[in-house]
Amino acid sequence: MLLLEQMIVLFILMGIGFFCYKKGVITQEVSRRLSTIVVNIANPALVLTGGMGDEKISGQDLRLTLLIVVFMYAALLALAVFLPGLLRVEGRSRGTYRAMTVFSNIGFMGFPVINALYGSGALLYATFFMIPYNILIYTYGISAVAGKGSEKNDGKGKSSLSQIFNVGFVACIVTLVIYFTNWQAPVFVKNTLTHLSNLTSPLSMMVIGASLATIDLRKLFTDVRLIIFSVLKLVVIPVLGLLVIRQFVDSEVMLGVCLVMLATPVGSMTAMLAQQYEGDYEMASKGVALTTILSVLTMPLVSGIML
């Protein structure tokens, strides 16, 4: 199975990052700088390559993709309202669980997987998922993880809207402009972006592996509530979501993109925001770590069931 092979490759890359951190080759500062390269250079380049290919998506498929994006985020936001209560999460961890429910690692992991499985043309579908993701992560995401009544956070949320227009968001918009205007980029531009985009998978996975090295992995598998949440996040939600989407979608590529968007682990941004806005950073970090480890098995499992 192609997805299983791809997840094994990503797992090996994470293992290399884990090993490098333990040996001191990658430090916290190096990891932070590598993350900056991925977020601001490599991943935007990967997104841009999606708009420069020769593959075209029909108008009907584009409209259907937009409807699926709206449905998916609406469903996840609704689910985030009652899932923490269902799991009997208390205190400031409730907001963290809400954020973990909605936001997956579609940038660091989702885009590289889609590119490897379906080619750069499929990234156009994924781009439509990324635009509302950026809007929600800096609005709903901050509101969810920030402690209620935190005086230190007063004023930070007000400036969060400016963070929406980050490099990744701009890359998504530019990609759509390139695609719809059918602009033909010079060959040297395409080649440069291709080389930069090739950095995304190895660097992002090594950064994730390095972050796992900072956590006591044994404690992850003793948190029963988090394990139950991980199963819901990685298996139950993607399966139920794909059951609904399959009623309206016949395209194998579009179904595959939807699966990756739903089945990827908790986004690392949830931990970063929890740390910045004094939320439950420990729980967010554990959620990112556990779901990332389990996703190596669950994504091929869900794919085998649904595709």
Question: Could you give the domains of the chain?
Answer: 2-299 (1.20.1530.20)
pLDDT attached to residue 152: 45
Give the mean pLDDT of the chain: 85
pLDDT attached to residue 99: 93
Label residue 186 exposed, middle or buried (CB < 10 Å: 0-12, 13-18, 19+): exposed
pLDDT attached to residue 159: 44
Q: Which of 75-84, 132-141, 156-165, 289-298 has the lowest mean pLDDT?
A: 156-165
pLDDT attached to residue 163: 64
pLDDT attached to residue 148: 57
Residue with tokens 């490099």: 167
CB 92 within 8 A of CB 279: yes
Q: Mean of the pLDDT values across residues 6-22?
A: 90
pLDDT attached to residue 143: 86
Sorted by sequence, the CB contacts under 8 Å of residue 143 that are 6+ apart come out as: 95, 157
CB 199 within 8 A of CB 112: no
pLDDT attached to residue 291: 93
**Encoded tokens for 92:** 């400031």
Q: Mean of the pLDDT values across residues 101-126?
A: 86
**C-alpha to C-alpha distances, 29 to 26, 105, 207, 214, nearest whole angstrom:** 8, 21, 11, 13
Strands (DSSP E) along 35-162, which ranges?
A: none
pLDDT attached to residue 232: 96
Does 234 score more than 70 pLDDT?
yes
Whole-angstrom distance, CA of residue 243 vs CA of residue 186:
42
